[in-house]
Structure 1
């Protein structure tokens, strides 16, 4: 009778810089779509408000450049964070909850991106930008940082970031074999 070795699946990220590429691509694409949402609501947000954060006057596409740089940097930070073993192992761990257990790593990274987008919204526009506008002698932004559009934009950014990160990064199953303790002994006794 053959004892079947139990195996658990671990996931790994292939390549040493895939997290950087996945985070950068996801961040820029997420920022483009988020910027498109802002543009559709009020183009002045991108043209005037974003440069005003840095004390600049609106000048051509400078607001878009800053917005895309923000998305790129935040995307790379996301890639760095989720590729660290503590967070990566948590996202790919086997869990008891059926709903989460049925989600593959791609959906889990997408969900992590949404959580990251919410965290970015809470830390940057809601908290830091509000403090910056109060302390710094910067004019009031034409777009309130706690507006539903800002929240939805950051959630959309996070969703795209997490989804694209999981596509660009090779998240591969890596079988961890655990040998049955008596399999070798029983095979050697038959020889």
Structure 2
């Protein structure tokens, strides 16, 4: 059984679908931050490249698609981290290692960071390359494996995880969750 001190995760959206709302909010805000990074690096990524993926003329619709992507990916994150065994792993008591003494907000932020890295490795690197090859879309010229893309995805995931922890009431469930690392003793 987990025991955690009071923190930002002791309040937030309650209810059975709290993860949905919290992860959508985190996804939108995280994608706004990521969009700002892209805008600083090269505004054409948002205005031209993202619409080109869908065969749409350049314009501000790229920002809308970027926000939709962030929201959907945020909801997927919320679904994943709110299910066992992921949830019980994140909220497990830890006396050694990286999680020792860390609150739930830090743990969910780190889970978001890992998620951002996974999204970066899967979507821009693998899926987009396949999409470009099979649809005949001209390569937009931006190296999606670029350092800026990696940083953007990591910032997105970090903010997503932190906001998920702030907006979703996870402490009560964490208190009731059994750690997947606890040894069970058989009295047979």
What TM-score does the superposition give when structure 1 sets the normalisation length? 0.83
Distance in 2 separating the partners of 1:92 and 1:130: 36
Q: Determine helix, strand or coil for the equivalent of 1:102.
A: coil
* Residue equivalent to 2:92: 93
Distance in 1 separating the partners of 2:2 and 2:61: 50
For residues 99 and 137 of structure 1, do their structure 2 counterparts lie closer, same or farther at Cα, with a shift above 3 Å needed? closer
Indicate the structure with greater strand content: 1
* Residue equivalent to 1:9: 3
Q: Please list, as runs of the form range in 1=range in 2, the aligned pairs for 1:65-76 lying within 5 A after superposition.
A: 65-76=64-75
Distance in 2 separating the partners of 1:175 and 1:18: 17
Q: Please list, as runs of the form range in 1=range in 2, the aligned pairs for 1:1-191 lying within 5 A after superposition.
A: 8-9=2-3, 14-59=14-59, 61-173=60-172, 175=175
Distance in 2 separating the partners of 1:175 and 1:141: 48
Distance in 2 separating the partners of 1:90 and 1:8: 10
Q: How many pairs align?
A: 169
RMSD: 2.0
For residues 99 and 115 of structure 1, do their structure 2 counterparts lie closer, same or farther at Cα, with a shift above 3 Å needed? closer
Contact 1:45 1:142 survives alignment (8 Å): no
| TM-fit CA distance, 1:85 | 2.1
What's the CA shift string for 1:26-72, capped at 9, x where partnerless? 0000000100110011110000000000111113x200000000000
Deviates more, 1:38-47 or 1:99-108: 99-108
Distance in 2 separating the partners of 1:127 and 1:8: 38
Distance in 2 separating the partners of 1:147 and 1:35: 15
For residues 99 and 122 of structure 1, do their structure 2 counterparts lie closer, same or farther at Cα, with a shift above 3 Å needed? closer
What TM-score does the superposition give when structure 2 sets the normalisation length? 0.84
Q: Determine helix, strand or coil for the equivalent of 2:119.
A: helix
Deviates more, 1:107-116 or 1:13-22: 13-22
| TM-fit CA distance, 1:167 | 0.3
Distance in 2 separating the partners of 1:39 and 1:119: 22
Q: Determine helix, strand or coil for the equivalent of 2:142.
A: coil
Displaced runs of 4 or more, over 3 A: 10-14, 173-176
* Residue equivalent to 1:182: none
Q: Computing the radius of gyration over CA atoms, which structure comes out larger, 1 or 2?
A: 1
